[in-house]
Amino acid sequence: MFPVLGRAMWRWRWPVLIGWLGLVLAGVTLGGQVFDRLASTDNLRPDAESQQAQRRVDELLPEGPIVVAVLRDRDPYDPALVASVGKVRTELLAVPGVKAVEDLYNAAGGRIGADNRSTLVQVELAEGLTPEQRDRAEDRVGTLLRTIDAPQVLVGGEKVAERAFAEQAIEDAAFGESIALGVLLIALVVILGGLRAGVLPMLAALAAVAGTLLGLYGLSTVTGISEFTLNVVTLLGIGLTVDYALLLLFRFREERAAAEDGAEGGDGVVDPGILLARTMATAGRAVLVSGLAVAGAMIGLYVFAEPLLSAMALGGAVAVLLSTLAGMTLLPALIAVAHRHIPAAGSETWVRRALFTTRWRRTSADAPGLLGRLAGYAQRKPGPVVFTVSAGLLLLSLPFLFDANLANSDARALPRSSEARQAYDVLLRDFEAGRAAPVTVVVEADPTAAEVRDLMNQLNVLPQVIRMQPRPDVPGAAVVIDLTPEGATGGSESRELVRAVRALEQPLPLLVGGPAAELVDYRSSVSARLPLAVLVLLLVTTVLLFVLTGSLVIPVKALVLNALTLLATLGVLVVVFQWGVGSALLGVRSWGAIDLTTPVLLFVFVFGLSMDYEVFLLARIRQEWDRWSDLRTPAARIRASQRAVLAGITRTGPVVTAAAVCITVVFGGFLLGELTAVKEIGFGMAVAVLLDVTVVRGLLLPAVMSLLGEWNWWSPAPLRRLHRRFAGGGRPSTSDSAPAPAEPVSAGP
């Protein structure tokens, strides 16, 4: 199949390129419209109890979006300020979409800040406004509020903060991705040794992104796509496509070099069509398996079923599909057209002459590479390496396992320079005394009933409650009660209060809502569905790696190694973003928590990219093992297994290292933005790739496989026969076709 595909891409290269050009044009024209369809996406499903509670509160006490202005640094009763607020109040009430205006001078219970030099103006917009109408009203309201005669006016509110987040996300994406793509092109030129060669992966990546935008445009007609989803999905597509491009380009260069050396007794005449077929027989197969593995990770994300995660999963699946399709069709076609401009590995190109000294060029040509050197060391001391590396990764994971504080990102996710963030901070400090947002209890009963009084007595004596306040003027037979908990919003006291209220033994139907309840519901949902997501990943990993290697041991090993990488990454994330250690270097200030969606997204993305590198390495290791697996004596087979591992890692190491550099550059674009939640993803992916490519793939993988020896390739006899019959590898590389000696040498020195 794969050699046939390679020959087809050679023969039909121009029609393939024209077809991709059409897809790119459609992506630019239609897919570009997805930016006009972006919308905020809820974290929770509609059937979550906290969501039901909020909908019931909205029915009982309908309230439109609130725009808040904090007037600072002036005596609240200064006559000039009072007159200015009155004048602006009149103008605000004339704005289309404004329902009511409340301030210290016209509403009961007007508020003065703790510093006695600040006050609030609250503007309620009408319910049912379209997003466009609400945006226009917010803009006009904000403009008028800033004309109030006060030294500082800070305008904020929940919807204002959400809009600021969306605008900042788009701005960050434009800036971060442009810088990342520029650096990525430079890295590719250096890695591949020439400008035209370096452009090939970029062309494929941009084409895949254009196709992804077209797919997201289609998805936006059936589900909400947020700015955050768009940023993450497009960068994932770029990273995967570049990874696949590097694998194909490195393998094509290797096949060409082997053919030019006359490895099969030829005359050195190179047929690019044959070379492309051989490249696809090995690297093309790895690309397909890797793409399916990452797509399986997206299915695992979809299992969590929350709206934001579902949208991310569907968008990620589109990106993976387009990246894999680009790796299977567009890249081979580009290689077919530009193969003469792809320098041989280690050749004296202008890039190498400009960047490296003559001595370095000569010594680096025969060097085994970083992963090869690490693998050689790990094979010499496999036991100590497995213990030390595993213990180190587990140690890094401890902060996440024992001290992770997951919370909903609010205005604190915005940069401190944002006006909406500043307004939030002042409101929390000077008007809320730093108290947590209330836990809201909705009771469906007559307020005068004895059961309601008994319930309120129970609520009032709960140890986490510092204030209980029923809301006035609730219509019908219903009661809405706000419970202010100790601690911070979403903190342990708030979450414990939610659980305590839901666990009360009383006869009345009630719903518990509020930010803390949303966090409890999200955690419960993720915890309940995590086993199913893990089962999906286990099945996908087992099937795909069995098809690739014929082993049932290797999939289990892959899952364990990926889990260690993920847990260590999350531990480092807690240290930096929750504890604040080194966070200033990233341009963020810790808010004592990490976004609750970050661990789930990293769970999927880290697993997917780790499988990406795992497949690259295992495909070559299995190919090397096939050369030796017919040896008879156990000692010879053990040494053969070690040799296969070392040879596979050494030969594929440069590809994996180059891919890791490129993917780190891509996700490093997230760190250039201003949004804390986005920085968490970028930093987490960079840490995960660094750990995975060095200590996990370079040390732990070869050490574990050395200890397992021939058991690496174990599977029941019926499955072995099935694998030989239906999942045999493609034609071996010309560089691997020399006859194997009867007794391979030991992997050690």
Report the CATH number that the domain containing residue 267 is assigned in CATH.
1.20.1640.10
Q: Could you give the 3-state DSSP secondary structure of residue 301?
A: helix
**pLDDT tier for residue 346 given thresholds of 50, 70 and 90:** low
Residue 586 per-residue DSSP state:
G
Q: What is the CATH number of the domain that holds 129?
A: 3.30.70.1380
- For residue 247 the two structure tokens come to 């694998």
Region 162-171: mean pLDDT is: 83
**pLDDT tier for residue 748 given thresholds of 50, 70 and 90:** very low
- For residue 331 the two structure tokens come to 């890249």
Residue 265: is its pLDDT beyond 70? no
Same-domain check for residues 250 and 381: no
pLDDT number for residue 727: 59
Domain of residue 78, residue span: 61-156
pLDDT number for residue 726: 66
Q: How many domains would you assign to the chain?
A: 4
Residue 410 per-residue DSSP state:
-
- For residue 486 the two structure tokens come to 């100790």
- Chain center to CA of 151: 42
Nearest to 541 by CA among 720, 287, 303, 296: 296
Region 292-319: mean pLDDT is: 86
**Which three-class secondary structure string do you get for 469-504?**
EECCCCCCCCEEEEEEECCCCCCHHHHHHHHHHHCC
**pLDDT tier for residue 730 given thresholds of 50, 70 and 90:** very low
pLDDT number for residue 267: 46
Helices (H), 339-488: 350-355, 358-365, 369-380, 382-403, 419-426, 450-460
pLDDT number for residue 637: 67
Beta strands in 544-595 (DSSP E): 594-595
Same-domain check for residues 276 and 400: no
The pLDDT mean for the chain works out to 85
Q: What is the dihedral of CA 79, 84, 89, 91, to 10 degrees?
A: 150
Exposed, middle or buried by CB within 10 Å (0-12, 13-18, 19+), for 179?
A: middle
Q: Is the pTM of this model over 0.75?
A: yes
The pLDDT tens digits for 448-477 are 899 999 999 999 999 999 999 999 989 989
Between CA 672 and CA 415 the distance in angstroms is 12
**Which three-class secondary structure string do you get for 251-272?**
HHHHHHHHHHCCCCCCCCCCCH
Between CA 497 and CA 436 the distance in angstroms is 12
Q: What is the CATH number of the domain that holds 661?
A: 1.20.1640
Q: Which residues contact 559 (CB under 8 A, 6 or more apart)?
A: 537, 538, 541
Same-domain check for residues 245 and 293: yes
Nearest to 229 by CA among 294, 180, 170: 170
Strands 510-513 and 594-595: unpaired
Residue 745 per-residue DSSP state:
P
Nearest to 537 by CA among 619, 618, 608, 612: 608
Residue 467 per-residue DSSP state:
E
Tell me whether residue 50 is in a domain: no
Say what angle helices 227-260 and 634-668 make with each other, to 10 degrees: 130
Tell me whether residue 444 is in a domain: yes
Region 336-362: mean pLDDT is: 70
- Map tokens 């768009």 to a residue: 230
How many CB atoms within 10 Å of residue 686? 20
Region 218-246: mean pLDDT is: 83
Task: Give percent above pLDDT 70 in the chain.
Answer: 91
Task: Give percent above pLDDT 90 in the chain.
Answer: 35
Same-domain check for residues 716 and 584: yes
Exposed, middle or buried by CB within 10 Å (0-12, 13-18, 19+), for 45?
A: middle
pLDDT number for residue 350: 63
Q: What is the CATH number of the domain that holds 466?
A: 3.30.70.920
- For residue 320 the two structure tokens come to 């993976």
**pLDDT tier for residue 732 given thresholds of 50, 70 and 90:** very low
Strands 406-407 and 594-595: parallel
Q: Could you give the 3-state DSSP secondary structure of residue 406?
A: strand
Phi, psi values for residue 303, rounded to 5°: -60, -30
Tell me whether residue 707 is in a domain: yes
pLDDT number for residue 368: 62
Same-domain check for residues 23 and 101: no
pLDDT number for residue 589: 78
**pLDDT tier for residue 747 given thresholds of 50, 70 and 90:** very low
Between CA 287 and CA 589 the distance in angstroms is 40
- For residue 416 the two structure tokens come to 């401190």
Tell me whether residue 364 is in a domain: no
Same-domain check for residues 447 and 571: no
Residue 112 per-residue DSSP state:
B
The pLDDT tens digits for 672-713 are 878 888 888 889 988 998 898 889 988 998 899 888 887 888
Same-domain check for residues 493 and 613: no
The three-point CA angle 662-272-324 to 5° equals 40
Between CA 9 and CA 335 the distance in angstroms is 9
pLDDT number for residue 365: 47
pLDDT number for residue 354: 67
Same-domain check for residues 666 and 701: yes
Do residues 611 and 293 lie in contact, with contact meaning Cβ atoms separated by under 8 Å? Answer: yes
Last residue of a domain, one of 328, 344, 360: 344
pLDDT number for residue 738: 37
Strands 152-156 and 66-72: antiparallel
Between CA 492 and CA 436 the distance in angstroms is 11
Phi, psi values for residue 122, rounded to 5°: -115, 130
The pLDDT tens digits for 411-422 are 777 888 889 999
Q: Which residues contact 747 (CB under 8 A, 6 or more apart)?
A: 376, 379, 380, 639, 642, 643, 645, 646, 706
Tell me whether residue 529 is in a domain: no
Region 371-375: mean pLDDT is: 84
Residue 40: is its pLDDT beyond 90? no
Exposure string over 353-375, b if 16+ CB within 10 A, otherwise e: eeeeeeeeeeeeeeebbbbbebb
Between CA 293 and CA 549 the distance in angstroms is 14
The pLDDT tens digits for 66-102 are 999 999 999 999 999 999 999 999 999 999 999 999 9
**pLDDT tier for residue 335 given thresholds of 50, 70 and 90:** very high
**pLDDT tier for residue 749 given thresholds of 50, 70 and 90:** very low
Tell me whether residue 135 is in a domain: yes
- Amino acid code (one letter) for 121: V
Last residue of a domain, one of 139, 156, 173: 156
pLDDT number for residue 372: 81
Nearest to 563 by CA among 688, 440, 449: 688
Residue 33: is its pLDDT beyond 80? yes
pLDDT number for residue 728: 54
pLDDT number for residue 406: 83
Do residues 297 and 606 lie in contact, with contact meaning Cβ atoms separated by under 8 Å? Answer: no
Same-domain check for residues 294 and 394: no
How many CB atoms within 10 Å of residue 544? 22
DSSP-based helix, strand, coil % in the chain, nearest 5: 70, 5, 25
**pLDDT tier for residue 735 given thresholds of 50, 70 and 90:** very low
**pLDDT tier for residue 357 given thresholds of 50, 70 and 90:** low
Residue 40 per-residue DSSP state:
-
Region 377-387: mean pLDDT is: 91
- Amino acid code (one letter) for 552: L
**pLDDT tier for residue 745 given thresholds of 50, 70 and 90:** very low
- Map tokens 């080194």 to a residue: 582
Tell me whether residue 115 is in a domain: yes
Residue 34 per-residue DSSP state:
G
Tell me whether residue 53 is in a domain: no
Last residue of a domain, one of 513, 547, 571: 513
Same-domain check for residues 719 and 662: yes
Phi, psi values for residue 661, rounded to 5°: -60, -45
Q: What is the dihedral of CA 643, 644, 649, 651, to 10 degrees?
A: 100
Same-domain check for residues 623 and 480: no
Q: How many residues does the chain have?
A: 749
Same-domain check for residues 224 and 131: no
Residue 746: is its pLDDT beyond 60? no
Q: How far is CA 72 from CA 116, 163, 433, in A?
A: 9, 23, 16
Between CA 184 and CA 702 the distance in angstroms is 29
| Greater model confidence, 39 or 572 | 572
- Amino acid code (one letter) for 713: W
- Map tokens 């004048």 to a residue: 87
Exposed, middle or buried by CB within 10 Å (0-12, 13-18, 19+), for 492?
A: middle
Residue 740: is its pLDDT beyond 70? no
Between CA 744 and CA 477 the distance in angstroms is 84
